[in-house]
Chain A
Amino acid sequence: MKKNVLGFYGYFLIFLAGCLMVPLLVALLYGENDCAVSFLVSIVLCALPGIIIYSRNSTGFQEGRLKARYSYLIVTSSWIIASVAGALPYVISGSIPDFAEAFFETCSGFSTTGSTILQEIESLPKSILFWRCATQWLGGMGIIVLFVALLPNFGIKAQNIAGAETPGPISSKVSARFSETARLMYMAYIILTGVLVLLLLPGGMSFYDAVCHAMTAMATGGYSTYNNGIAHFNSYYIYWVLTVFMFIAGTNFNLFFVAIQGSPRKALADEEFRFYLLTVITAVALVVISLMTEGGYTDFGAALTDSAFQVVTLMSTTGYATANYIEWPAFAQMILVLLMFTGASSSSTAGGIKEIRILIFLRMIKFEVKRLLHLNIVDDIRYNGRRMMPETLTYIMTFMTTYILTLVAGTLLISLTGEGNLVSNFTAVLTCISNVGPGLDMVGPECNFHFYSTFSKYVLSFIMLAGRLELSTFFIIFTRYFWKPDRV
């Protein structure tokens, strides 16, 4: 048991070292020798312990030996390990000398949040910025899923692990073996990223910028290589291309396979997708109206572009900056805050509560009213024509309650040290738990998280990870049930 887990960690560290090779190549390409050295040191720091741990524990793996609950431990601790390892290049190269800040930045990267503590982005070396964007791309689809897709079994059921990492209450498979599913998902992810790179090039982006932004857009991360984000390019073409791709990144990836396997209609009829589309259209319409009437916009095209971009970027939990929405009317801001709660679809790269949960929650309210009116009603809640199990409903409500309580607890914790104000702290936690990026007021799209204390930065970092791992996967390892399973 212990061997399996340790062996997994060893291999995972080697895998991380492999990931760090890519920015090393970028550093060599751009002739940034200092950075190349720091990446090299980081690779050694990951690979050496990895090889030692792996070689000591490499024998005796057996399929299914590990209990299901260990997958929670493996996933949560791997994400923390990845965040620590990913922070090494920042600290060693001196780009972000403070470890707490580097850790925050990496957590924000892997969890695809996109909140930053950097006040000055453009002055950083290109390879460091590339690594920043790459962390988001890796975290978007799930580091462990990638790991599982590529690597042999560790005596751990791949689906348990992926179930703990993949967002959404219902995980589905598109092929018989899970590793095959993971491979297909990654294939789609890579192809879409590639297409986005090609589409961004004609808009006037350099190849480097196109790759960086394609990675963060498809992962719904939101890191940019410029201080003022996407607004730097000032091109409607780029805004709209990104809007479309962020929307795609927020849809359920399984639907692509449903569509490819010959039933595009079935994909379009998916209730979550329809609800997602409906929410986006309604939100864009309301924001446009608000901007045209109160926000001082006179050009309809500009209002539509800005609102569509901001609605999609916040709802898909990407969090790119084009317009400074904290100057928008309060109504438009409220809509954007609402979207930060909902997030996009399940099994996508987005964070937040997820549309499927909201949809089922609304149905549950309706059901609850019916139950009050007809005491002995026999009815069930359906989703995509299938009856929802009471179990699933309980899990969905547990998630919602946990989400609200975490939000409250997080706001209290980061307010302890006295920085910020109510709105900033509340939206900072909201944006972290939903993996969005920017919040309101002092953490708005043109601001950053630099002013928070070290303690608050750690709290926010863990909230980001908890949000990415859908709360229970993360919190479970801190309960006594986990460590003393025989005690009830």
Chain B
Amino acid sequence: MKLTNNRKFFLNIFSAVMIAYGIAAMPSVFAALYFGNDRSLIPLAIVSSATIICGIIIRHLYDLNASVVRPRMNYMAVMMSWLASIALTSAVFYFSVAEFSVTTAIFEATACLTTTGVGNLGIESLPESLMLWRSVLSWLGGVGIILIAFSFISGRQLSGRALVSVEVPGPDFLKSTQTFRYTYRHIIRLYAVLTAVHFVLLCIAGMTPYTSLLTSLSNISTAGLQHISNGDITALPGTQKAIIVFFSFISSLNVSFLLMMFFRRSFSFRRTSEIGVYTLRVVITSVVIAAVLCFTRGMGAASAVADALMQTVSYLSTSGYIVSGSRCWPFICELLILLQMFVGACAASTAGGIKTARIQIGFKTMRFGLFRHVHPNAVRPVRINGETVKPEQLVGTNIYIALFMLVYILGALLLSLDNKNESVFDALNYSQAMLTNTGTTVADMTRIGGYSGFSPLSQIVMSIEMLCGRLEIYPFLMLFFKSFWRTDSNR
């Protein structure tokens, strides 16, 4: 059969994703054998072997060398790979856990892959192999399935930058001069090294190897540590908490910055203003919260700062685990964190949210607008990191900010139909937790199996929101455009 260029490209990516997915499922298969989780063994084994075999067969049957494709194929490949991964994962969950309905399984699968990291059930109810599967999936989703799948695509078949930029969140204003192939290999290597270091450090700090593995996998992807008493890590020793918080902070930084730090050893701070702004946000938020806690709750300065800093990092990196008793904080502290959750961390990190770089541009646009009122004819570009922001980029960024809020409110509107949400506030909170991929709402920070009991409609809405948050809305919106499905349509 003769394939068109577009189809070749699509199958090339898709089969690579399937192989990557299958290989990622292998450790969980062995875990199921080791821990004797009979019920989850068969679905996991079937999905793992089937995806690998299908991927290999497709790659053998067809010649998938495609060079030039239309931009829409990038979105198509990414969206379809994600949807397929979600579908396969939910199948595994559906057949492995007796309590799961179809929508619950979809919700659970989306939550893992989008690094939201929430579950319908408490930790006690899930078998060990599935806990590992969840952590592996969030690592996969956090770093990017497509990015990882590139390891299976041989040769110089295509330029993947445009493709990967669909999946990697945020406007990236840090241009690295390396070739793309060089970059993506380094990205994977970087995250692997970080995870390994994280794992070793946790083991040294006294955590069991199995828990450390799950923790490092899900923490590097800013998923929130659901395997430790549902994300409530208050009871852990101080050193372990410090390690966890440190690594969530690292993984919420822009990956280009990390690459430059680790591999090139030279970078200029002038070109990385986003990191500076993000760090400043973390510091200011923690200091304000610590001050409020000192004055209103009479806490000691050291413990207040530690608590505030840890909790701030947890939410700003959109991980969403609970480090301290923040549920009894004064509401100004809650508000500070809640508002910053929208912003999230840096672009091109594993975190969710609008991203610091966009908000920087938002502020600059606001200033620019005021400036233009005074000097209507002035020609003055908006700059970030010393580079001019193009007009369409400027408008595009602002559209994204407003679009994010629109999806947030529409999501809350649909969630408010659910009887579980008693007030508007609940609906808004859940919508925010889903869209920013944090998973935990600020209002009630501790819950056991907090996401059980939602109606099927809400679970679907939440899944869509999580996916929108992870892939930055547009790929999902495109599903409703004719020109996404047909090349010759312009509508």
Contacts and interface: CB of A to CB of B under 8 A. Distances in A.
Interface in A82-105: none
B46 interface: no
A173 interface: no
B424 A405 contact: no
Interface in B378-411: 378, 380, 391-392, 394-396, 398-399, 401-403, 405, 409
Given A422-B335, A472-B370, A476-B370, A368 B330 contact: no
A400 B398 contact: yes
Contact of B71 (A375, A390, A399): A375
B413 A481 contact: no
A22 interface: no
A422 B402 contact: no
A330 B416 contact: yes
Given A333-B424, A374-B71, A68 B376 contact: yes
Nearest to A328: B424
Interface in A356-370: 361, 364-365, 368-370
Nearest to B481: A369
B374 A415 contact: no
Given A401-B362, A488-B378, A368 B399 contact: yes
B369 A373 contact: no
Contact of A411 (B339, B372, B422): B339
A395 B371 CA distance: 11
A374 B369 contact: no
A454 interface: no
B395 A416 contact: no
A69 B374 CA distance: 6
A368 B474 contact: yes
Interface string B336-370: 10110000000000000000000000110111111
Contacts of A479: 367, 370-371, 374
Given A72-B373, A372-B71, A472-B373, A415 B365 contact: no
Contact of A398 (B368, B396, B424): B368
A233 to B, nearest CB: 28
A252 B299 CA distance: 56
A370 B373 contact: no
A411 B335 contact: yes
Contacts of A408: 339
A418 B383 CA distance: 38
Contact of B331 (A371, A404, A405, A415): A415
Q: Which of B422, B423, B443 has the most CB of A within 10 A?
A: B423
Contacts of A330: 416-417, 421-424, 426-427
A368 B484 CA distance: 13
Nearest to B392: A371
Contacts of B172: none
Interface in A39-74: 68-69, 72
A234 interface: no
Interface residues of A, number: 56
B275 interface: no
B412 interface: yes
Contacts of B330: 418
A419 to B, nearest CB: 10
Interface stretch (A114-122, A134-142, A151-159, A334-342): A334-342
A334 B412 contact: yes
A401 B477 CA distance: 21
B72 interface: yes
B373 A397 contact: no
Nearest to B431: A334
Contacts of B378: 488
B370 A397 contact: no
Contacts of A472: 369-370, 373
Contacts of A369: 474, 477-478, 481
Contacts of A412: 335-336, 339
A440 B339 contact: no
B186 to A, nearest CB: 27
Interface string A393-426: 1110111111011001001100110100111010
B405 A404 contact: yes
B409 A341 contact: yes
B321 interface: no
A401 to B, nearest CB: 5
B261 interface: no
Interface in A451-484: 472, 475-476, 479, 481-482
Contact of B423 (A72, A416, A423): A423
Q: Which of A331, A405, A482 has the most CB of B within 10 A?
A: A331
Contacts of A423: 423-425
B179 interface: no
Given A334-B413, A365-B477, A402 B374 contact: no
Nearest to B425: A423
A467 to B, nearest CB: 15
A152 B422 CA distance: 57
A441 B422 CA distance: 13
Nearest to A364: B399
Nearest to A336: B424
B60 interface: no
Interface string B36-69: 0000000000000000000000000000000000
A398 B392 contact: no
B373 A69 contact: yes
B448 interface: no
Contacts of A422: 331, 334-335, 338, 425, 443
Interface string B469-481: 0000010011001
A383 to B, nearest CB: 16
Contacts of A485: 374-375
Contacts of B423: 330, 333, 423
Interface in B448-480: 474, 477-478
Q: Which of B362, B374, B399, B443 has the most CB of A within 10 A?
A: B374
A441 to B, nearest CB: 8
A370 B490 contact: yes
A335 B230 CA distance: 33
A488 B380 contact: yes
A476 B409 contact: no
Contacts of A341: 409
Nearest to A402: B366
Interface string A341-363: 10000000000000000000100
B75 interface: yes
Nearest to A335: B413
Contacts of B402: 361, 397, 400-401, 404
B483 interface: yes
Contacts of B416: 329-331, 333-334
B338 to A, nearest CB: 7
B284 to A, nearest CB: 12
B240 to A, nearest CB: 32
Given A365-B477, A368-B396, A402-B366, A481 B490 contact: no
A96 B297 CA distance: 36
B332 interface: yes
Nearest to A372: B474
13 contacts: A69-B373, A330-B416, A331-B416, A334-B412, A361-B402, A374-B71, A374-B490, A394-B365, A397-B398, A399-B369, A401-B402, A479-B371, A488-B378
Given A331-B417, A394-B395, A482-B374, 14 more contacts: A330-B427, A334-B424, A335-B413, A337-B409, A364-B395, A365-B477, A374-B72, A374-B483, A395-B369, A397-B399, A398-B369, A402-B369, A412-B335, A412-B339
Interface of A: 68-69, 72, 329-331, 333-335, 337-338, 341, 361, 364-365, 368-375, 377, 390, 393-395, 397-402, 404-405, 408, 411-412, 415-416, 418, 421-423, 425, 440-441, 472, 475-476, 479, 481-482, 485, 488
